[in-house]
Amino acid sequence: MKDLVIGISFRSSANEGTLHQGNVITIEPGYYEVGKFGIRIENCYEIIKSEKLRSGAENFLTFEPLTLVPIQQNLIQRDVLQQKHIDWLNAYHQKCLDKVGPFLKEHCLQEELEFLEKSCQKM
């Protein structure tokens, strides 16, 4: 069976397949300096039905993160972010704490919990 490729990109060739509720995709933003370095964040997301839209529409989808790893704040240039980006990052980090923190506590992984709490401090 051929793997189904779905994607969203500025390249027209990436527009193969259709996004459906229940699909799992990766979102892979990256930045590269030619001949120097590159960095990429690769998180898995599930496509889910969007809830509580202001328009009242019921036929929209959104992304729910499955990979809950904190984004290293020391690599972020805060001065180029808008408040909505900071709010998103803070909400994502709170989700990391809420979902992963209890597991770490339950399994007595104190060092890992402290790392998570430090990494998820509000920006």
Sign of CA dihedral 91, 95, 96, 98: positive
State yes or no: pLDDT of 106 exceeds 90.
yes
Burial class for 120, CB neighbours closer than 10 Å (0-12, 13-18, 19+): buried
Query: What token pair was written down for 114?
Result: 């402290």
**Ranges assigned E (strand) in 6-121:** 24-27, 30-33, 37-40, 43-49, 61-65
Tell me the backbone φ, ψ of residue 63, rounded to 5 degrees: -110, 135
State yes or no: pLDDT of 29 exceeds 90.
no
Single pTM value for the model: 0.75
Task: Give the pLDDT score at 15.
Answer: 54
Task: Give the pLDDT score at 32.
Answer: 86
State yes or no: pLDDT of 71 exceeds 80.
yes
Mean pLDDT of the chain: 87
Report the share of the chain in percent with pLDDT over 70.
87
